[in-house]
Amino acid sequence: MPQTRAGLTVLASAWALSACVTINIYFPAAAAEKAADKLLDDIWQLREDAKPADTQSGKEQE
């Protein structure tokens, strides 16, 4: 039937389009978040254990 054929063509085209979109603009958000966490903790010198109140302003990281 020509309608079924046309319908399947549309489906295949849509699939093709989505595949192209996936390959071209896939931004690895999860991996980027992990990388950001690593760098931020490093640069801001945040510790694993969230720092409690400290009055020692001269406290340096070893």
Residue 6 found at the interface with other proteins (CB under 8 A): no
Residue 62 found at the interface with other proteins (CB under 8 A): no
CB of 57 to other proteins, least distance (A): 5
Residue 3 found at the interface with other proteins (CB under 8 A): no
Q: Please tell me the total number of residues recorded for the chain in this structure.
A: 62
Question: Cα separations (Å) of 30 from 12, 35, 44, 45?
Answer: 30, 9, 21, 22
- The answer to whether the CB of 61 falls within 8 A of the CB of 44 is no
Site for other proteins in 27-46 (CB under 8 A): 27-29, 31-46
CA 56 to CA 62: how far, in whole Å? 15
Q: Which residues form the interface with other proteins (CB under 8 A)?
A: 1, 4-5, 8-9, 12, 15-16, 18-19, 22-23, 26-29, 31-46, 50-54, 57, 60
